[in-house]
Amino acid sequence: MRQPWRFSWWWVVGGAAIALAGAAAIARQSLEQQRALFETDARIVHRLLSQQVVQHDAILATLALLQPAPVASRTGSPEQRLPALYPRILSVQRSDAATPWPDPALAEAERLSRQSGRAALAPLDLPSGRYRLVLASEPASFALTIDLQALVPWEEWPMAAETSTVRVELEHAGQRHVVQPGRLQAGTGSRFEFHKVVAAESQPFDVVATQTVNWRQWPWARMLAWTLAVAALLAAVRHLQRQRLARRRAEELLRLGQVARLNTLGELAAGMAHELNQPLTAVLANTQAAQRLLDDDPPELATARGAMAQAAAQARRAAEVVGRLRRAVERPDSGGQRQVVDAVEAVRRALHLLEPECQRRSVAPALEGLPALNVMADPVALDQIVHNLILNALQALEQGPATQRRLTLTLRTVDGLGELAVADSGPGIAPEVLPRLFEPFFSTREGGLGLGLSLCETLASGMGGSLSAANAATGGAVFRLRLPLAANPA
Ligand code: ADP
């Protein structure tokens, strides 16, 4: 499990998901809008065509009612004037007992009209762009030849006929006439369709409108704008979060630094006490010996004995003072604040805190073993030990080439204790150094204080645990911190 870079992937994946979902919603909404527009246009087209077609019934009915004379007057018979009034009517024909239809198809249509009692279509040839409509009446019957293209009231047409992508056709009995070809869209896409028969029973043409919207007509600009907006927003949030993280990390480092300084002072005092105690004890022993000698020979010198006694008393008092100082700085409460702590979380915290340090040294720490490990510990002390061990490992790793730097933190249970092993691929610990590692003021580093490990050991034993060091079989050093398990506090 690689820790520090885990985060960014969620941002990328989450951002991409939001951008995709939004872009898809925009595309869908645009498609719905185009569909609504298409349907509105198709309905208008149907209404306009119906209005035109239904007029033919009215014209034929009027002709049948008025029965205009076949002889042409100066101005022409009314039926001959009709094409001038209605450009779509190409011709008007009449037939009576004396004038049979020139085309048997018209005679058949007349028969049908007589049967149904309304106008009837002569057999169709829709692709030719014209059709004939016959109304049987007495004494004469009438037939209209209608130009389909002239039928369309272009001035009221809801679309630009040349550029529109909507195709409009009139269909009947398997034949079709293209009213508006519609610019064909290459490739596949969403297809809209509209079918409705014109509102004239005598001419039941089906108005068919179709439109194909392919991916090129998607609202790419809006989708791109949305994606950019999401990316910008996420970048801003991420930036703010990074800033907050950096601030929190700095605060935490400051806090750890303060705790470390306090602890180091304590350790310093403990070290001094340790150093001072020995000479003081020696002074005490010497003065006591001198006192005995004075007692023997030469004769007792009461003043000298008194002075020596006083010196001994002073020395004892000094030892006591040092002892008191030592007791005071020995973190009397260490171990007193023990509580259940997840050691894995403590390691994660330390890794997070030291992420910049790791990155600076090109070290990708690996966290292995148990996913959670509850131990009894003082959380602050535990943080500090883990922090120190990782920092030491990073310092050791600096001595090797960047490509071979490995830092592995393993959490497991051993002998009823929780164990954190911090293993590095650094130079390891020299055999002569190993026994002195936890001594106060022992350091092999230039400028090193030599208090870190001694403090860590003090803190570990204060919590009822231990800290040990060894060289790994594969090279590098391993530090093992063991602490009582929470379920089985020692
Ligand atoms: P300092 O870091 O000030 O030297 P420490 O008590 O932290 O004090 O460490 C004492 C010594 O232990 C170091 O100087 C170094 O020689 C040795 N040491 C600590 N950690 C490691 C490690 N991971 N690998 C090798 N040596 C180490």
Q: Is the peptide bond before 139 cis (omega within 30 degrees of 0)?
A: yes
- What stretch of H or E contains 41? helix 6-66
- What stretch of H or E contains 408? strand 407-414
Residue 3 lies in a domain: no
3-state secondary structure of 144: strand
Task: Kindly report the protein residue whose alpha carbon is nearest to atom 8 of ligand 1.
Answer: 450
Q: What is the mean pLDDT of residues 211-236?
A: 88
Summary mean pLDDT of the chain? 84
| Residue 67 phi, psi dihedral angles, 5° rounding | 45, 65
- Is the predicted pLDDT of residue 415 greater than 60, yes or no? yes
Residue 298 lies in a domain: yes
Q: How confident is the model at residue 5 (pLDDT cuts 50, 70, 90)?
A: very low
One domain for residues 343 and 250: no
One domain for residues 373 and 353: yes
Residue 307 sits in a domain whose CATH number is 1.10.287.130
pLDDT in tens, 298-335: 655 665 566 566 566 556 656 665 665 566 555 545 44
Highest mean pLDDT among 7-11, 422-426, 454-458: 422-426
One domain for residues 343 and 206: no
* Chosen domain end from 201, 217, 233: 217
Task: Kindly report the protein residue whose alpha carbon is nearest to atom 26 of ligand 1.
Answer: 429
Beta bridge partners of 147: 130
The C-alpha atoms of residue 136 and residue 134 are separated, in whole angstroms, by 6
pLDDT in tens, 49-99: 999 999 999 999 999 888 776 655 555 566 677 888 888 999 999 898 888
Structure confidence at residue 81 (pLDDT): 77
Chain-centroid distance, C-alpha 271: 54
Q: How confident is the model at residue 390 (pLDDT cuts 50, 70, 90)?
A: very high
The ligand 1 atom at the shortest distance from the C-alpha of residue 449 is: 3
Structure confidence at residue 229 (pLDDT): 93
Residue 135 lies in a domain: yes
Structure confidence at residue 399 (pLDDT): 93
Residue 371 sits in a domain whose CATH number is 3.30.565.10
- Is the predicted pLDDT of residue 167 greater than 70, yes or no? yes
Residue 353 lies in a domain: yes
The DSSP secondary-structure symbol of 394 reads H
Token pair, residue 163, equals 């550029």
One domain for residues 457 and 398: yes
* Chosen domain end from 331, 355, 387: 331
Distance in Å, CA 340 to ligand 1 centroid: 29
Higher pLDDT among residues 375 and 317, named by residue: 375
Task: Kindly report the protein residue whose alpha carbon is nearest to atom 7 of ligand 1.
Answer: 452
Distance in Å, CA 406 to ligand 1 centroid: 17
- Is the predicted pLDDT of residue 401 greater than 90, yes or no? yes
One domain for residues 347 and 446: yes
Residue 224 lies in a domain: no
The ligand 1 atom at the shortest distance from the C-alpha of residue 479 is: 23
Task: Kindly report the protein residue whose alpha carbon is nearest to atom 18 of ligand 1.
Answer: 392
Distance in Å, CA 100 to ligand 1 centroid: 123
**Taking CB atoms and a 6 Å cutoff, what residues make up the pocket around ligand 1?**
392-393, 396, 424, 426, 429, 433, 437, 442-445, 448-454, 477
The ligand 1 atom at the shortest distance from the C-alpha of residue 433 is: 16
One domain for residues 285 and 361: no
Determine contact, residues 172/179, Cβ cutoff 8 Å.
Answer: no
Range of the domain at 246: 242-331
Residue 18 lies in a domain: yes
Structure confidence at residue 2 (pLDDT): 40
Distance in Å, CA 364 to ligand 1 centroid: 21
Q: What is the mean pLDDT of residues 167-196?
A: 86
* Chosen domain end from 331, 361, 379: 331
Structure confidence at residue 51 (pLDDT): 93
3-state secondary structure of 447: coil
One domain for residues 378 and 404: yes
Distance in Å, CA 329 to ligand 1 centroid: 23
Determine contact, residues 15/231, Cβ cutoff 8 Å.
Answer: yes
Share of the chain above pLDDT 70, in %: 79
Structure confidence at residue 490 (pLDDT): 42
Mutating to test ligand 1, I would choose from 395, 453, 456, 481 the residue with most ligand atoms within 8 A of its C-beta, which is 453
One domain for residues 103 and 197: yes
Q: How confident is the model at residue 272 (pLDDT cuts 50, 70, 90)?
A: low
Higher pLDDT among residues 476 and 301, named by residue: 476
One domain for residues 95 and 38: yes
Structure confidence at residue 7 (pLDDT): 54
Residue 5 lies in a domain: no
Determine contact, residues 91/145, Cβ cutoff 8 Å.
Answer: yes
Q: Enumerate residues 6+ apart whose C-beta is below 8 A from 469.
A: 429, 434, 437, 438, 453, 477, 478, 479, 480
333: exposed, middle or buried (Cβ count in 10 Å: 0-12, 13-18, 19+) = exposed
The ligand 1 atom at the shortest distance from the C-alpha of residue 388 is: 7
One domain for residues 52 and 172: yes
What domain count does the chain have?
3
Distance in Å, CA 445 to ligand 1 centroid: 7
Structure confidence at residue 414 (pLDDT): 95
One domain for residues 213 and 247: no
Residue 236 lies in a domain: no
The C-alpha atoms of residue 39 and residue 391 are separated, in whole angstroms, by 71
The ligand 1 atom at the shortest distance from the C-alpha of residue 424 is: 23
Task: Kindly report the protein residue whose alpha carbon is nearest to atom 15 of ligand 1.
Answer: 444
- Whole-model pTM: value is 0.50
Token pair 């809008």 is found at 33
pLDDT in tens, 180-189: 988 766 666 7
Structure confidence at residue 1 (pLDDT): 39
One domain for residues 365 and 308: no
Distance in Å, CA 397 to ligand 1 centroid: 12
pLDDT in tens, 119-140: 999 988 888 899 999 999 988 9
- Is the predicted pLDDT of residue 32 greater than 80, yes or no? yes
Structure confidence at residue 434 (pLDDT): 93
Beta bridge partners of 178: 169
